Chains A and B, each alone.
Chain A
Amino acid sequence: DIVMTQTPLSLSVTPGQPASISCKSSQSLLHSDGKTYLYWYLQKPGQSPQLLIYEVSSRFSGVPDRFSGSGSGTDFTLKISRVEAEDVGVYYCMQRIHLRTFGQGTKVEIK
């Protein structure tokens, strides 16, 4: 099974400052079709999860451009260029190259 490891598990950020979350997979997420199946989801307090980023770096419809995803193979990063109050919640990475596995989640709060 593929294990997804996120760091840090919690993050306290001053509004307007950047934030970065790392996600490492136990196996490469590069598929033979050339795509890398790494996703980022955000679960805001009291809400269902919502898609932020698909295939490493593509922003889902309506996601602000302050969110960006990068990485390859087994190492991936989600960056928020300037954190806003509405960005609080738990961020999860997920792989789907073999079944589907979520990372443990990273809780982002505002200082």
Chain B
Amino acid sequence: EVQLVESGGGLVQPGGSLRLSCAASGFTFSSYEMNWVRQAPGKGLEWVSYIGTSGTTIYYADSVRGRFTISRDNAKNSLYLQMNSLRAEDTAVYYCARDLYCSGGSCYLAFDIWGQGTMVTVSS
């Protein structure tokens, strides 16, 4: 079964750090680009970061650039998000999402598989 499972969320004080993980299974992780998307309580979806298959191409949303670092370990089938200098406004459920949909011999860029999310709460 194709699956993404996030972990690492929790309660952290403002200014603190947290590292999220996303474990992939059921597909060739190294062939897929990946993203982090977050959702503050009662709010909409906000894209956070993207990483290419080899880890050399990386993008961030303005709201997290300079504080968050996305990375991946293809040998461990894992995606990571290192979050530093956390703020109250970073409080959210964080989802990892696979970024390629292949069907009928063709592939299309799309967030086709999402994890269940992990909650990050930044509060004193």
Contacts and interface: CB of A to CB of B under 8 A. Distances in A.
Given A51-B101, A99-B59, A58 B108 contact: yes
Interface string B88-113: 00000001010001010000111110
Contacts of A94: 45, 47, 111
A109 interface: no
Nearest to B93: A48
26 contacts: A39-B110, A39-B111, A41-B45, A48-B114, A49-B37, A49-B95, A49-B111, A51-B101, A54-B108, A58-B108, A60-B101, A60-B110, A60-B112, A61-B103, A94-B47, A94-B111, A99-B47, A99-B50, A99-B59, A99-B61, A100-B35, A100-B47, A102-B44, A102-B46, A103-B44, A105-B44
Contact of A48 (B35, B59, B116): B116
Interface of A: 1, 37, 39, 41, 43, 48-51, 54-55, 58, 60-61, 90, 92, 94, 96, 99-105
B47 A102 contact: yes
B110 A51 contact: yes
Contacts of A43: 45
A111 B101 CA distance: 34
B117 to A, nearest CB: 6
